[in-house]
Chains A and B, each alone.
Chain A
Amino acid sequence: MSAVPWRAALVDRVLPVVAEHAAVVDTEAAFPAQGMAELAASGLHGLLVPAEFGGLGGGLHDLVGTAQDLAGACLSTAMVWGMHCQQVDTLVQHATGSLRDDVLPRIARGELYLASVTTEPGKGGHLLTAVAALRDDGDALLVDRDAPVVTGGLHADGFLITMREAEDAGSQRVTLVYADRDQLAVERSGGWDTVGMRGTESVGLRIAGRVPAGQVVGQPGGFREIALRSMAPVGHLVWSACWLGAARAALADLVGWLRSSERGKGVDVRSELTAERVARVRMDLEVVSAYLSRVTDEVVASRAGGASLSGVDAQIHLNTLKVVAAESTFRAVDRMVRIAGLTAGYRKDSPLRLERRFRDLRSASLNYADDRLLVSTGALTLMDRAVRLL
């Protein structure tokens, strides 16, 4: 499946650095600069960049595999890297001409870390609408926008930004534009003091600048197509992989603890109650893992065949993946806290570190609201009388 045979070796190289800083980026709500520098140096920033542009030429199976591995060490770092890769995929699939020739080699060299700007005040998380409009001053496009949640925004070298196509365009006419950091004035407008995912440092920004029209990605007003083909599917795949990787590492830690002499006196591994509880955790992760790999296969196959992923059944599968992964991985870590108990499960200073994973995974249902996806899936279900299951 993997297009990059040496992927495991690259991941092994970065994991110790990522793991070493996991606690401090959480405590300080600070960007995982060391881990990201190591990922850039390893070449993994360019995992999805085709070899002809100097990248590793990896595919979506490599992406979900790597995201899971990284998330076991630090979910925040995995998410920062995963969302960078989501932007890279968008550029690989949709950027053309001089934009593509300029940015892809820089990404491959580890010089260009990308942030995502889609959320906006006044519309919340809705991906396919925009409020602030691009203005054309004759020479260039003017970007001026509030961005209340931008993962790694203060550290990004480039941004993919959604804007309304023009001042006289409706809110559904969304244009995706690329901007280099030095084309923009970026001002911090809000902090990031959250329950979990603190290391993503997803601060609020005010972004303004001028970009040439050639930096529009895809068609003006045509972001919907990019969202359907690239940003939404890859987002759901990589987020789900991150959450699964964190929950899986938590279970590995828990099983190790249950099998060791460290386990508390109160936990009886010979009891049927403990067995039943551990089984429920394992089943949740089994289901997410299998569904994640099936949806990855489906996305890869439909891309290879030139299909658009806009079919009712494909959209239901992608939405289901995100919601099931968010619900199941959080439920799993919640159950693990219960199994481990107060001292090993709930305390911050427990070597099991379940409380950080618990706080981090609480964000999963909010990171693109499950409610939005459920409403969409419900509507789509009524349009699929044949019930084409994955």
Chain B
Amino acid sequence: MTGSPWSAEFERVLRGYLPLHGPDARLRPDDSLADLGLDSMATVGLLVDVEEEFGIALADDDLTDQTFASPAALWAVVDRLRGASR
């Protein structure tokens, strides 16, 4: 998908965990995921789905509030690990 700083797969997985985000609204890099409805249970689901989708494993040190703060922050970690595993 052009115009997004992340891949279409990432956007699809992430949106599944944001119940307060309108289906037609654009997801912005610095949106607050917590404000869009990502709670602690949803964070585990998102983590597992992202790891499966991209064939990566986040280290415990990456599992901070900051990583799950915004689409851009999470994508930065995913993209780094994705690059490393290729």
Q: Which residues of B contact A384 (CB under 8 A)?
A: 60, 63
Q: Is the interface of A mostly helix, strand, loop or mixed?
A: loop
In the complex, A375 Cα to B43 Cα: how many Å?
12
Q: Which residues of A contact B73 (CB under 8 A)?
A: none
Q: Do A382 and B35 touch across chains, with their CB atoms under 8 A apart?
A: no
Q: Which residues of A contact B34 (CB under 8 A)?
A: 128, 172, 224
In the complex, A224 Cα to B37 Cα: how many Å?
12
A216 to chain B, nearest CB (A): 17
Range of interface residues on B (Cβ < 8 Å)? 10 to 19
In the complex, A105 Cα to B20 Cα: how many Å?
41
10 new A-B pairs (CB below 8 Å) besides A311-B64, A379-B43, A384-B63? A128-B34, A170-B36, A172-B20, A172-B34, A221-B35, A310-B65, A312-B60, A379-B41, A383-B63, A386-B60
Cβ of B81 within 8 Å of any chain A Cβ, yes or no, is no
In the complex, A224 Cα to B44 Cα: how many Å?
19
- Cross-chain pair count, CB within 8 angstroms: 42
Contact with A along B33-48 (1 / 0, CB 8 A): 0111101110110010
Number of interface residues of A (CB under 8 A): 20
Contact with B along A363-387 (1 / 0, CB 8 A): 0000000000001100110111110
Cβ of A96 within 8 Å of any chain B Cβ, yes or no, is no
Q: Which residues of A contact B64 (CB under 8 A)?
A: 310-312
B39 to chain A, nearest CB (A): 8
Q: Do A380 and B20 touch across chains, with their CB atoms under 8 A apart?
A: no
A72 to chain B, nearest CB (A): 35
Q: Which residues of B contact A274 (CB under 8 A)?
A: none
In the complex, A384 Cα to B36 Cα: how many Å?
24
